[in-house]
Amino acid sequence: MDSGPLSTIRNILLWSLLAGSAGTLLELLLIGHDEMATQFAPLVLLGIGILASAWTLIAPRPAAIRTLQILMVVFVASGLIGVVLHYKGNEAFELEMSPSRAGLSLMSKTLTGATPVLAPGSMCLLGIVGLAFTHRHPALGSPGNFSSKEEQA
């Protein structure tokens, strides 16, 4: 299967994904990020991410790896959507407070508003970590896998 430095890197990536997902889920629960359906979505995704990471850790078989790959693409998409939603929420609040605000002034206030606009980017980061873990994973048995010489380089 997977051995040497690449195996070590994969283990670090998978454990980072697991810890990052658990930590982000805990943080969102602690701040009460569950008032609307759109806020509940990352909680569900992170929970599924923890289960999929654990499944992959316990049994790194093709089904687990493919499930994780698909889920990580959804993580990245949800992070991008979250950034837009946070921005739009801050923008609506700023316009409610100062309806005449526009241009760079509005954008500046929106980016530094009460809701951290870039916080959902952590979902993107977790997704990229997961995708890095699954990239050319030996359990997938794809023809593009590294040979043992390339793996050691």
Please tell me the predicted confidence (pLDDT) of residue 2. Answer: 61
Separation of alpha carbons 6 and 29, rounded Å: 34
Task: Read off the pLDDT band of 13 (50, 70, 90).
Answer: very high
Please tell me the predicted confidence (pLDDT) of residue 141. Answer: 85
**Mean pLDDT across the chain, nearest whole number?**
91
Please tell me the predicted confidence (pLDDT) of residue 153. Answer: 41
DSSP assignment of 91-114, as one string?
A: HHHHHHH-TT--HHHHHHHHHTSS
Mean pLDDT for 84-89 is 95
pLDDT digits (tens, 9 = 90+) for 102-152: 999 999 999 998 899 999 999 999 999 999 999 999 999 855 544 444 444
Separation of alpha carbons 123 and 42, rounded Å: 8
